[in-house]
Amino acid sequence: MSKAKLEYIWLDGYTPTANLRSKTKIESDFSGKLEDCPIWAFDGSSTKQAEGGSSDCLLKPVAIYPDPARKNGYLVMCEVLNPDGSPHETNSRATIDSDANDDFWFGFEQEYFIMDSHTDLPLGFPHGGYPGPQGLYYCSVGGKNTHGRELVERHADYCLEAGLNFEGINQEVACGQWEFQIFAKGAKTAGDQIWVARYLLDRLTEEYGWYIEYHPKPVRGDWNGSGMHANFSNTLLRTCGSKEIYEKVCEAFRPVTKEHIAVYGDENDLRLTGQHETQSIDEFSYGVSDRGASIRIPIMTVEKGWKGWLEDRRPASNGDPYKIAARIIKTVESADV
């Protein structure tokens, strides 16, 4: 009789930024299929999702991936449900109530800092001082400007082995800052894969004495913050061939700027200053190939005859991809086209 290790992963109830939680369930002769993952439960009073007198919350498996770090292991992304089976108030995945046919495609660019647990500084930062200024870190090679590559490469391998649609990595503009990209057809699938990729990255740091900082501006001063740029499209954007339609879709974002910022990550005001490749949090703009705009229209979209995608550059690195995707879908579908 074979035994499988199923790592049930969920989001806790901490606000304004949820944390990943997980625990292992051993199953005999497991098929490896999602439909054979049973509903499970956990102590919600320990994750700010229930009171001690009625503490059970349910875990509903929604996606499964091979666990690259464990023999006979699986990563099981879950939604949190109330005991009656309804979505828990912290269940952000359930807020995606549209896109039933996966018409929306999302590509998230997840930026982050690798932090040294002993100094609470990004890798490459000397204790009590600063490394050289920004300029040579972006996509750099060599030990002087590149820090943490072994972890980043292992993470890439893990994501690929898990079957995630992992599209790339690069060192970012600030010292100790990196990025990975995930693409998926369907808003829920994109969110699932970002969270599982984050889980794998966080788990790997346990071996190094490091941790991952998703805060959008962990290092104040003349350093880039961290975002999670959201590239998105639907059939309309992929096929319309119309500059006018693209501009109407972009304009649909203008009157709901505050609604988007509200779900784009905590303390994003520290990052969206109008500097360091951002637009001010109080402004809204869009433009072709403009990395200082709220929404960038990629040059490839224009060159393909206005058939492609848009990039919302405002989401912060600590944003919840489920909430971000849900808000983007709502706005795009509201456009007068």
For 225-264, write each residue's pLDDT tens digit: 999 999 999 999 999 999 999 999 999 999 999 999 999 9
Provide the pLDDT for residue 29.
Answer: 95
Per-residue pLDDT tens over the stretch 125-161: 998 888 999 999 999 999 999 999 999 999 999 999 9
d(CA 159, CA 312) in angstroms, rounded, equals: 24
Phi, then psi, of 114 in degrees rounded to 5: -95, 120
Phi, then psi, of 234 in degrees rounded to 5: -135, -175
DSSP state of 97: -
What does the angle CA 58 – CA 64 – CA 67 come to, to the nearest 5 degrees?
Answer: 110
DSSP state of 88: P
Q: How sure is the predictor about 109, in pLDDT bands with cuts at 50, 70 and 90? A: very high
What mean pLDDT is predicted for residues 104-120?
Answer: 97
DSSP assignment of 50-67, as one string?
SBTTB-EEEEEEEEEEE-
Mean predicted lDDT score pLDDT of the chain: 96
Q: How do the residues of the chain divide into helix, strand and coil, expressed in percent and rounded to 5? A: 25, 30, 45
d(CA 226, CA 174) in angstroms, rounded, equals: 9
d(CA 318, CA 303) in angstroms, rounded, equals: 32
Q: How sure is the predictor about 53, in pLDDT bands with cuts at 50, 70 and 90? A: confident
Judge whether residue 100 has pLDDT over 80.
no
> CB–CB of 62/45 below 8 Å?
no
Residue 260's CB: how many other CB atoms inside 10 A? Answer: 21
> CB–CB of 18/35 below 8 Å?
no
Q: Would the CA dihedral through 115, 74, 11, 331 be positive or negative?
A: positive
d(CA 77, CA 65) in angstroms, rounded, equals: 8
Per-residue pLDDT tens over the stretch 310-322: 999 999 999 999 9
Q: How sure is the predictor about 336, in pLDDT bands with cuts at 50, 70 and 90? A: confident
What is the value of pTM for the model shown?
Answer: 0.96
Provide the pLDDT for residue 337.
Answer: 87
What does the angle CA 98 – CA 103 – CA 109 come to, to the nearest 5 degrees?
Answer: 95
d(CA 328, CA 18) in angstroms, rounded, equals: 20
Provide the pLDDT for residue 59.
Answer: 98
* Structural domains of the chain in order of their starting residue, each with its CATH number: 3-90 (3.10.20.70), 105-334 (3.30.590.10)
